[in-house]
C-alpha cells in the first residue's frame, strides 16, 4: 500500500487573524508531530508538495463573479458588495492572501485525487483540505473554496464513482449541495444535529433529488454524543452504503471538532472513536483521498491526524508524544499521551440518545439504502 502526504508549510502562512478560531498553525504542528513520531519515514510514504489550483480548476464549481470577488479580497482590501459573497467580519474575514491560500489548499486536494486516481498511491492525505462549507458563489463557515467538491469533480469527470464520507462535527453542506442531484456521487455526513449547530442542515430527510434521490445520507448526532454513539451511527450506515454504491474511490473529510474539548461543537468523541472510524474507512476504501477539516483545539488536531496518518500507513504510533516535541510545543495544550483516555456517557440520557441514533439508522436504511438499491 503506497501513500502520499501532500503538504507545504506555506499553507500555514495564510492567517485568518489572531481572534479567529481557525488557526492555520495547526497544520505545521501536525506535520512536526508526524515527523517527531517517525511517521514520514515508516513504510516509505511519499512527501509531495502541492501546486496552486488554477482559475479554470476553481471554475469547475465556483462562479465567475465569486472568483472575481475572491481576487479583490486577496489583496486584503474590503470592498463594496463583499457581504453578498459571504466575505467580511466574522467567519470569513478578508485578509491578504485569502485566494492564494485557498488555491494552494485546493491544489493539494486536486493533486491528492490525481495521485490516487493514477494508481501512483493507494492513499493520499491533504491535511490542509476539507473546507466543505464553501458554496458555488459564497464563502461560508471559514471556507472560501470547496476543495472536496473540486477533487470529487476531477474524479467524476474521469468517469469514476466517488463516495464522500464526512465525519466533521459540522454538516458537509457545500459538498452535499454540489452533488445533491446526481447518482455519480454518494455523500455521507455524520455530524452534530443541525438543530444545535452550524450550518443548521444535514437532517436525515435530506436524501437527494432527481437522479440523486437516495444518494445522500445524513446521520445527525444528538449533542454530547460519545465515541460509542458515533461508532454506532457509523457502523449502522457507512459499510452498507459503501457496499451498495461500490465506489471506485472514497474521499473523506476527517474533521476533529467532534472531540470533547473542541470549543465550537458539543460532542464528546475522542481519538479512540476517531481512530476506529479511520481504520474502518481504510478497510472499506478501494482507493482513498483523505482530507483534513475542522478542529479548533490545535493539540487535538495534531494528535488525531498524526494517528490517522499512522493508520493509513499501517504503522505503529508511539504511546507517548516524543519529548523533543513536547519541549517545543508543550504550551499548545499537549499532554504526555498521543491518544486520549476513553470517555463514555451512561444512564438514561445515553439510552435516549441511542434510541435517536437507531431511529436515524433505520430511516437511512429505508429511505437511502433501499432507494439506491432500486435505482
* Residues contacting residue 21 through CB under 8 Å, at least 6 positions apart: 142, 263, 264, 296
Give catalytic residue positions. 133
> Could you tell me which residues are beta bridge partners of residue 185?
162
- pTM, entire model: 0.97
Which one-letter DSSP state was computed for residue 9? G
Phi then psi for residue 73, to 5 deg, are: -65, -25
* Helix ranges (DSSP H) in the chain: 25-36, 55-58, 64-73, 98-117, 147-156, 173-179, 227-245, 271-284, 298-312, 323-329, 348-364, 370-374
Neighbours of 38 (CB within 10 A): 14
Closest C-alpha to 25, from 15, 34, 35: 15
* HSE, side-chain direction, 13 A CA sphere, residue 356: 19
Residue 371 has a pLDDT of 87
DSSP string covering 240-285: HHHHHH--SEEEEE---TTBTT-TT---BB-HHHHHHHHHHHHHH-
Residue 372 has a pLDDT of 82
Judge contact between 231 and 273, C-beta under 8 A: yes
Judge contact between 265 and 258, C-beta under 8 A: yes
Write out the chain's pLDDT in tens, 375 residues.
799 999 999 999 999 999 999 999 999 999 999 999 999 987 778 999 999 999 999 999 999 999 999 999 999 999 999 999 999 999 999 999 999 999 999 999 999 999 999 999 999 999 999 999 999 999 999 999 999 999 999 999 999 999 999 999 999 999 999 999 999 999 999 999 999 999 999 999 999 999 999 999 999 999 999 999 999 999 999 999 999 999 999 999 999 999 999 999 999 999 999 999 999 999 999 999 999 999 999 999 999 999 999 999 999 999 999 999 999 998 888 988 999 999 999 999 999 999 999 999 999 999 998 888 665
- 3-51+99-374 fold: 3.40.800
In the block, residue with C-alpha cell 454518494:
186
β-pairing, 249-253 vs 288-291, is: parallel
In the block, residue with C-alpha cell 476504501:
285
* Helix ranges (DSSP H) in 141-296: 147-156, 173-179, 227-245, 271-284
Whole-angstrom CA distances from 289 to 28, 53, 173, 216, 217 are 20, 17, 19, 19, 19
Amino acid at each position: 500500500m503506497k501513500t502520499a502526504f501532500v503538504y507545504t508549510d506555506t499553507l500555514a502562512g495564510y492567517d485568518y487573524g489572531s481572534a479567529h478560531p481557525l488557526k492555520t498553525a495547526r497544520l505545521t504542528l501536525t506535520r512536526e508531530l508526524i515527523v517527531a513520531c517517525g511517521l514520514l519515514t515508516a513504510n516509505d510514504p511519499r512527501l509531495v508538495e502541492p501546486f496552486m489550483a488554477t482559475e479554470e480548476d476553481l471554475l469547475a464549481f465556483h462562479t465567475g463573479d465569486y472568483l472575481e470577488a475572491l481576487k479583490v479580497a486577496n489583496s486584503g482590501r474590503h470592498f463594496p458588495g463583499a457581504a453578498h459573497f459571504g466575505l467580511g467580519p466574522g467567519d470569513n474575514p478578508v485578509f491578504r492572501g485569502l485566494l492564494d491560500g485557498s488555491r494552494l489548499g485546493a491544489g493539494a486536494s486536486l493533486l491528492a485525487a490525481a495521485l490516487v486516481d493514477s494508481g501512483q498511491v493507494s492513499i493520499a492525505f491533504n491535511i490542509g483540505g476539507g473546507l466543505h462549507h464553501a458554496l458555488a458563489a459564497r464563502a461560508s463557515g471559514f471556507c472560501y473554496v470547496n476543495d472536496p467538491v473540486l477533487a470529487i469533480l476531477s474524479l467524476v469527470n474521469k468517469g469514476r464513482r466517488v463516495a464522500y464520507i464526512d465525519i466533521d462535527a459540522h454538516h458537509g453542506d457545500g459538498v452535499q449541495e454540489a452533488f445533491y442531484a446526481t447518482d455519480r456521487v454518494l455523500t455521507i455526513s455524520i455530524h452534530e444535529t443541525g438543530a444545535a449547530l452550524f450550518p443548521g442542515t444535514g437532517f436525515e430527510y435530506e436524501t437527494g433529488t432527481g437522479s440523486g434521490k437516495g444518494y445522500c445520507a445524513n446521520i445527525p448526532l444528538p449533542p454530547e454524543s460519545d465515541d460509542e454513539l458515533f461508532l454506532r451511527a457509523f457502523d449502522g450506515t457507512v459499510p452498507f452504503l459503501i457496499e451498495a454504491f461500490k465506489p471506485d474511490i472514497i474521499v473523506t473529510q476527517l474533521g476533529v471538532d467532534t472531540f470533547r474539548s473542541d470549543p465550537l461543537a458539543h460532542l464528546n468523541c475522542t481519538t479512540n472513536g476517531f481512530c476506529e472510524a479511520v481504520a474502518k474507512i481504510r478497510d472499506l476504501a478501494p482507493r482513498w483521498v483523505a482530507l483534513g477539516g475542522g478542529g479548533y483545539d490545535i493539540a487535538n488536531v495534531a494528535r488525531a491526524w498524526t494517528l490517522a496518518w499512522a493508520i493509513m500507513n499501517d504503522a505503529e504510533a508511539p504511546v507517548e508524544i516524543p519529548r523533543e516535541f513536547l519541549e517545543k510545543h508543550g504550551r499548545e495544550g499537549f499532554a504526555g499521551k498521543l491518544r486520549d483516555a476513553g470517555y463514555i456517557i451512561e444512564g438514561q440520557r445515553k439510552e435516549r440518545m441511542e434510541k435517536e441514533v437507531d431511529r436515524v439508522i433505520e430511516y437511512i436504511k429505508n429511505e437511502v439504502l433501499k432507494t439506491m438499491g432500486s435505482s
